[in-house]
Amino acid sequence: MARTQRQQPSKPSPAMEPQAAGRPVEASEDPPPPTAKMSKEFTYQDVAEYNTKKDIHVVIHDKVYDCAQFIDEHPGGEEVMLDVAGQDATEAFEDVGHSDEARETLDRLLVGTLKRQPGDPAPKAAPAASTSSASKSDSTGLGIGLYALLLVGGVIGYGAFQYLAKQQEVQQAA
């Protein structure tokens, strides 16, 4: 008696499918489009409701971030995050001077945008690029200028000392 094999439904050839780590990508594995995360709009009142360790949202530059999964990993400790939970944390975020890596982590936590309404407070700080680069260049310029001023002052002081010492020798010899 001959065995009959059940035929599997036909699948597209692997060459036609996108690859992920050497295997075909299933439809359920497709990442959502980047704009899907930002489709939700929050008001300040909405964000204010997310103010606990297990459910924490913050606003930075009018974007809303869900930081609940990151709070235990935050290098500054959870207290820092809880202080700004449910609030605009733009100023606190920029004052610390976060690294590019921290900003990339922040991008992964993005859940929506802030919808401003009449009576909402104004944004707390200017965009990151202008404030952080301006303050860094100002402090660097002051450091170099101060160093140059001290160096020139030292050279002038040494020259004056040598000149006065020679003058004193001449007066004593005469």
- 47-90 pLDDT tens trace: 889 988 899 999 899 899 999 898 888 888 888 888 888 888 88
- As a CATH number, domain 33-114 is 3.10.120.10
Low-confidence stretches of the chain (pLDDT beneath 50): 6, 8-21, 25, 27-38, 128-134
Share of residues in the chain with pLDDT > 70 (%): 67
Q: Give the per-residue pLDDT at 53.
A: 86
53 SS3 class? coil
CB neighbour list of residue 103: distance below 8 Å, 6 or more residues apart = 128
Instruction: Tell me how far the alpha carbon of residue 88 is from its chain's centroid.
Output: 15
Instruction: Report which residue type is found at 135.
Output: S
Model pTM? 0.50
- Using CA atoms, how far apart are residues 122 and 116, in angstroms rounded to an integer? 9
pLDDT for res 39: 66
Query: What confidence score (pLDDT) does residue 139 get?
Result: 58
Rounded CA gap, 29 and 10, in Å?
20
Structural tokens at position 66:
């869900």
Residue partners of 90: CB distance under 8 A and separation at least 6: 59, 60, 61, 123, 124, 125
